[in-house]
A = this chain, B = another copy of it.
Amino acid sequence: MSSPIVFYDIPGKHPKYNAWSPNTWKTRYALAFKGLPFKTEYVEYPDIEALCKKIGAKPTDTKKDGSPHYTFPVIYDPNTKTVVEDSLNIARYLDKTYPDTPRLFPDNTHVLQNAFLAASGSAVMMPLFTVVILATCNNLNPRSEEYFRRTREVSFSKALEDFVPAGEEGAKRWKEVEEGFDKIASWFTDSDQSGPFVMGNIPSYADVDLASRLIWAKVVLGEDSEGWGKIKQWSGGRWEQHLKLMEKYENLA
A residues adjacent to B (C-beta < 8 A): 92, 95-96, 105-116, 118-120, 122-123, 183-184, 186-188, 190-193, 195, 198-202, 206
Contact = CB atoms under 8 A, between A and B. Distances in A.
Nearest to A95: B192
B192 A112 contact: no
Contacts of A112: 109, 112-113, 115-116, 198-199, 206
A110 B183 contact: no
The main secondary structure of chain A at its interface with chain B is helix
Contact of A120 (B110, B115, B206): B115
Residue of A119, A199, A206 ringed by the most chain B CB atoms within 10 A: A119
Oligomer: number of copies: 2
A197 to B, nearest CB: 8
Nearest to A195: B108
B115 A199 contact: no
A209 to B, nearest CB: 10
A119 B110 contact: no
Given A105-B191, A111-B198, A112-B112, 17 more contacts: A92-B191, A92-B192, A95-B192, A96-B192, A105-B193, A108-B199, A109-B112, A109-B199, A111-B116, A112-B113, A112-B116, A115-B116, A115-B119, A115-B184, A118-B183, A118-B187, A122-B122
A199 B105 CA distance: 11
A105 to B, nearest CB: 7
Among A112, A187, A188, A206: residue with most chain B CB under 10 A: A112
